[in-house]
Structure 1
Amino acid sequence: MKIAILGTRGIPNHYGGFEQCAEYLALGLLKRGFEVIVYNSHNHPYQEKVWNGVQILHCYDPEHKLGTAGQFIYDLNCILDVRKRNCDIVLQLGYTSSSIWGWLMPKKAVVTTNMDGLEWKRTKYSEKVKKFLKYAESLGVKYSDHLISDSIGIQNYLKETYKADSTYIAYGATLFEKNNVEVLSKYNLQPHNYDMLIARLEPENSIEIILDGVAKANLSRPFLVVGNNDTAYGNYLKNKFSASSQINFIGGIYNIEILNNLRYYSNIYFHGHTVGGTNPSLLEAMASNSLISANDNDFNRYILGNDAIYFKGADDVTKHLLDVEYNNIRFQSMLLENRIKIENIYDWEIIVEQYAKHFADITKRNSN
């Protein structure tokens, strides 16, 4: 079976969640005998035509010149190219800038789309953009032969809003077991004597709420903010919290071993995401034995249940920072239960197998 994966900037991952997903899926499907194509931006750092056996196709991506508008052109270029490839399945990771071109998808391929989170709910967008994103979401449903939801919440939403069935396949993670304390020396950190968050610096990820709590706690131990901060919102945050010397904006890190070690040795790992389904960084924190303080919402509670502490506002963050210690015995069962969830539900081998089964099911259904 020949699979094309669209909707990301490409692999190996140099950006974020869907790129990480594409990387694991491509390698896992290849191992199971699938032929796999992944589309990469023309200016992706990896410029070879094959990566670990996965075929890489570079398409022109003018995002660096045009901003967001360039994403639409890149997706169009990918769709026009995949029409020539005689694929059995086109897997779209997301729909935001591709769904307006959905009518151009190859007719002989089965198109299945991972519908991501509720993009139109993101607070960073204007009302006009939110209206377009809701429209794009509807087109994603319309032009897909099948849908994938990475959380039960998204699956219920698609059913209620569009009367559309979708296959639930969560995001994945791999248990982190090769911890290396030497990684901390680069950042002048001591084990379990710092707190942190990893996220895109965007309002809906509760960054400002968390940092307000950090500033109010006024502890001497470092607080790491991992994520690209060279943005308007990043600059706003750096300026607002410039007087809080314990808050360290260390930029984006995409080396998974470094990230896992930082999570593993943190005191509290804050997860502030409020929009979306099964968030990749949350699963990776669970897999890294992190003690998690999560924004109190249904998406996070569905994954974590009782195996986390939760915050609603900055005062809760302050309280956690002042009162919670990683080594406290009452939190150890949370860590264990989260690792069991990764092993039994969210392990990448399980997730890839679910995708492989989904592909087999939908091609069989299509042929009938």
Structure 2
Amino acid sequence: MKIAILGTRGVPNHYGGFEQFAEFFSIFLAEKGHEVYVYNSHNHPYQEKTFKGVHLIHCYDPEFKIGTAGQFIYDLNCILDSRKRNFDIILQLGYTSNSIWHFLVPKKAIIITNMDGLEWKRTKYKPIVQKALKYAEKLAVTSSHSLIADSIGIQNYIQKKYKRASKYIAYGSDVFKNPTNDVLLKYKVEENKYNMILARLEPENNIEMVLDGVVKSNDLTTILVIGNHNTKFGNYLKSKFHQTNIRFLGAIYNLEDLNNLRYFSNFYFHGHTVGGTNPSLLEAMASQAFILAHENEFNQGILKENAFYFSSSEEVKNLILSIKKYDNLQKIENNLNAIENEFNWTKINGDYLQLFEECLSRFKDRK
């Protein structure tokens, strides 16, 4: 098959979840003998034309000049280029800025779209932007030959909202091996004597709820808040929570540091509520963190009974005061087994390839 992957800033990964998946999956496809192309921003740090057998196409991306609006132009440039390539399959990762150009996508290609999360629910967006994102979501559903949901919650939402079937294929993670507590000196913490929360500092990630619970508990255990705090909401949180045991570390991109911090933490809070399989949750499971998660169908679909759940600051407080990590080691073990058996990249890459083969067979005779 001749396959294109659109919707990321490119590979090798220098940014986030979809880029990481695009890197792993494209290399997997190339090793299987498929002709695979990944679209990259023109200013991606890696400027070669191939990467581990994967063809790279660099397209102009003005996001660095004009901000978010540049993503729409970048996706347009990628789609216009794809019209010249005679692809069998185009995989779109997300729909936010590419579905509005659906009428320009090459007609002969099979379009498969990973629907990501419920982007229009993010409170950082103004109502008019949220409305536009809901429209983009609808366009993606109606213009794609096949849809991928990376969580059962998203799959249920697509079925209920649009009466459209989707294929559930989760995100993946690698088991974290060889932890070293040397990293803890760098962050001035000790094994199992600190808690942590890692997320974008946005309201829907419930960092405020968690920290309210911490304060109510009167527990003085250090809690590390990891995520860029130089934002309007970040500044609000720093202003509200100035207790000495609440430490805002900012964003950390060193995966080795993050994995060690998760591994040696006491409680790991996961407050995300806006759908999809969140990569940082899988990484926490793979790092054998003891997870306390916001109670919603997205988190529960991944963690099942292997976490404790909260939906208010009062419940956070009660969990802090009533549970202990070492009474719940089986939950940690179960999450690690889930990474090894359900959320490993080999299985996920294989599931994607199987879907591609099914779609090629199903749509091969279409006009």
Range class of TM-score, shorter chain: over 0.9
- The answer to whether the 8 Å contact 1:13/1:254 transfers is no
**Following TM superposition, by how much is the alpha carbon of 1:271 offset from its aligned partner in structure 2, in angstroms?**
0.6
Give the whole-Å Cα distance in 2 for the aligned partners of 1:212 and 1:263. Answer: 21
**Following TM superposition, by how much is the alpha carbon of 1:133 offset from its aligned partner in structure 2, in angstroms?**
1.0
Give the whole-Å Cα distance in 1 for the aligned partners of 2:194 and 2:264. Answer: 8
Secondary structure of residue in 1 paired with 2:25: helix
**Please, which runs of 5 or more residues in structure 1 have no aligned partner?**
none
Equivalent residue for 1:70?
A: 70
Equivalent residue for 1:8?
A: 8
**Following TM superposition, by how much is the alpha carbon of 1:311 offset from its aligned partner in structure 2, in angstroms?**
1.1
**Following TM superposition, by how much is the alpha carbon of 1:338 offset from its aligned partner in structure 2, in angstroms?**
1.0
**Following TM superposition, by how much is the alpha carbon of 1:322 offset from its aligned partner in structure 2, in angstroms?**
3.6
**Following TM superposition, by how much is the alpha carbon of 1:44 offset from its aligned partner in structure 2, in angstroms?**
2.6
Moved over 4 A (4+): none
> Does 1:93 pair with 2:93?
yes
- The answer to whether the 8 Å contact 2:9/2:40 transfers is yes
> Does 1:367 pair with 2:364?
yes
- The answer to whether the 8 Å contact 2:7/2:98 transfers is yes
Tell me the amino acid that sits aligned with residue 263 of structure 1.
Answer: R
> Does 1:320 pair with 2:301?
no
Equivalent residue for 1:33?
A: 33
> Does 1:354 pair with 2:313?
no
Give the whole-Å Cα distance in 1 for the aligned partners of 2:76 and 2:291. Answer: 39
Equivalent residue for 2:54?
A: 54
Alignment of 1:259-278 (within 5 A): 259-278=258-277
Secondary structure of residue in 1 paired with 2:12: coil
Tell me the amino acid that sits aligned with residue 172 of structure 1.
Answer: G
Give the whole-Å Cα distance in 2 for the aligned partners of 1:309 and 1:60. Answer: 45
Secondary structure of residue in 1 paired with 2:48: coil
Equivalent residue for 1:42?
A: 42
Tell me the amino acid that sits aligned with residue 362 of structure 1.
Answer: C
TM-score (norm 1): 0.94
Equivalent residue for 1:117?
A: 117
Equivalent residue for 1:334?
A: 331
Q: CA RMSD in A?
A: 1.7
Give the whole-Å Cα distance in 1 for the aligned partners of 2:59 and 2:222. Answer: 42
Equivalent residue for 1:344?
A: 341
Give the whole-Å Cα distance in 1 for the aligned partners of 2:333 and 2:339. Answer: 10
> Does 1:157 pair with 2:157?
yes
**Following TM superposition, by how much is the alpha carbon of 1:19 offset from its aligned partner in structure 2, in angstroms?**
1.8
Paired residues in the alignment total 365
**Please, which runs of 5 or more residues in structure 2 have no aligned partner?**
none
- The answer to whether the 8 Å contact 2:31/2:53 transfers is no
Moved more, 171-180 or 354-363: 171-180
Give the whole-Å Cα distance in 1 for the aligned partners of 2:287 and 2:141. Answer: 35
Tell me the amino acid that sits aligned with residue 347 of structure 1.
Answer: N
For residues 239-297 of structure 1, what are the alpha-carbon distances to aligned partners after superposition, in whole Å with 9 as ceiling and x for unaligned? 322x2222222222233322211111111111101111222111111111110000011
Cα 1:110–1:202 shift into 2, 3 Å: same
**Following TM superposition, by how much is the alpha carbon of 1:332 offset from its aligned partner in structure 2, in angstroms?**
0.8
Secondary structure of residue in 2 paired with 1:179: coil
**Following TM superposition, by how much is the alpha carbon of 1:203 offset from its aligned partner in structure 2, in angstroms?**
1.0
Moved more, 56-65 or 85-94: 56-65
Tell me the amino acid that sits aligned with residue 355 of structure 1.
Answer: Y
Give the whole-Å Cα distance in 2 for the aligned partners of 1:239 and 1:81. Answer: 48
Give the whole-Å Cα distance in 2 for the aligned partners of 1:155 and 1:124. Answer: 24
Give the whole-Å Cα distance in 2 for the aligned partners of 1:101 and 1:55. Answer: 23
Cα 1:263–1:365 shift into 2, 3 Å: same
Q: Equivalent pairs: percent with the same residue?
A: 58
Cα 1:32–1:274 shift into 2, 3 Å: same
For residues 106-127 of structure 1, what are the alpha-carbon distances to aligned partners after superposition, in whole Å with 9 as ceiling and x for unaligned? 1222110001111122222222
**Following TM superposition, by how much is the alpha carbon of 1:218 offset from its aligned partner in structure 2, in angstroms?**
4.5
Alignment of 1:184-199 (within 5 A): 184-199=184-199
TM-score (norm 2): 0.94
Equivalent residue for 2:138?
A: 138
Secondary structure of residue in 2 paired with 1:346: coil
For residues 179-206 of structure 1, what are the alpha-carbon distances to aligned partners after superposition, in whole Å with 9 as ceiling and x for unaligned? 1222222212211111111212211111
Secondary structure of residue in 2 paired with 1:174: coil
